[in-house]
């Protein structure tokens, strides 16, 4: 069974109340329910967490890497500012998919640059809460493929 850490950065605890014209009315608890349901169909275990603190996110990224888990991360504003998160992802060895609820490329210019995208296996944005499900599916597939390639072939 694969394990995936679904990590949420600053202000995502306010989903459903914060700028609903941008982020919609779905709460983070609603998203967690959706993710857990999808994980069950994939046969994956989920660690779903949120923090407004950069260092806590770094600790969880390192924990995921140490456990051989994958990561789906919505780093919020830290996406555009945090070298610490970038270094943690890069150093952890955990396959990571960066996700965003909104289409960051259709928003303010400062949101167009991600410091974590270059150390992630992919980026998904603009699909609302479905971005989480797409991210989970993507990282799960990457992990399954890596495990398959790591097994010695029997001829």
Spatial distance between the Cα atoms of 117 and 67, rounded to a whole number of angstroms: 22
Strand partners, 5: 47, 71
Spatial distance between the Cα atoms of 114 and 86, rounded to a whole number of angstroms: 9
Catalytic residue numbers? 23, 100
Yes or no: say if 49 and 5 are a contact pair by the CB < 8 Å rule: yes
Pick the closest to residue 45 from 67, 73, 15, 76 (CA basis): 67
- DSSP character at residue 153: P
Structure tokens given for 121: 């296996």
């Amino acid at each position: 069974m694969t394990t995936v850490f679904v990590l949420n950065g600053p202000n995502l605890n306010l989903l459903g109340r914060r700028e609903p014209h941008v982020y919609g009315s779905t709460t983070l608890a609603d998203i967690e329910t959706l993710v857990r349901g999808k994980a069950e169909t994939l046969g994956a275990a989920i660690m779903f967490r949120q923090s407004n603190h950069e260092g806590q996110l770094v600790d969880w990224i390192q924990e995921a890497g140490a456990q051989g888990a994958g990561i789906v991360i919505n780093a919020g504003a830290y996406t555009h500012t945090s070298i610490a998160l970038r270094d943690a992802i890069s150093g952890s060895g955990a396959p990571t998919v960066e996700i965003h609820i909104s289409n960051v490329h259709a928003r303010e210019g400062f949101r167009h640059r991600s410091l974590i995208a270059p150390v992630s296996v992919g980026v998904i944005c603009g699909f609302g809460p479905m971005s989480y499900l797409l991210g989970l599916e993507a990282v799960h597939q990457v992990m399954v493929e890596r495990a398959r390639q790591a097994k010695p072939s029997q001829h």
